[in-house]
Amino acid sequence: MMSLPLLLFACGLGAAWTSRREVAMGFCVAGVLVLLALFRFHATDVLNLGL
């Protein structure tokens, strides 16, 4: 699960190496979205701050 964004980025780089720019960008955007979702999943602790 945690390796999914990295896997998507690696696939995107693979697509870029084969000159498929749109596919590469699609993988990258998907990786960014998964990264955001995983951050949301992990950032559950309340910060010890009084702003």
Partner 1 sequence: MTADLSRLLNALGLVAVDTVLVLAFADQVWFRDLPCPICILQRAGFVAAGFGLALNLMFCPRPSHYGLAILGALIGGAISADQVLHYVVPGSGSYGNTIFGLHLYTWAFIAFAAVVVGCGVMLLFDRQFESGLPPSPMTLLPLSAVALLTLLAVSNVASTLAICGVGLCPEAPSGYLIFHENLGLARLESP
Residues at the contact surface with partner 1, assessed by CB under 8 A: 1-3, 5-7, 9-10, 12-14, 16-17, 19, 21, 24-25, 28-29, 31-32, 35-36, 38-39, 41-43, 45, 47-49
CA–CA separation, 47 and 2 (whole Å): 23
CB 28 within 8 A of CB 8: yes
Minimal distance, residue 3 CB to partner 1, in Å: 4
DSSP 45: S
Least distance CB 25 / partner 1 (angstroms): 7
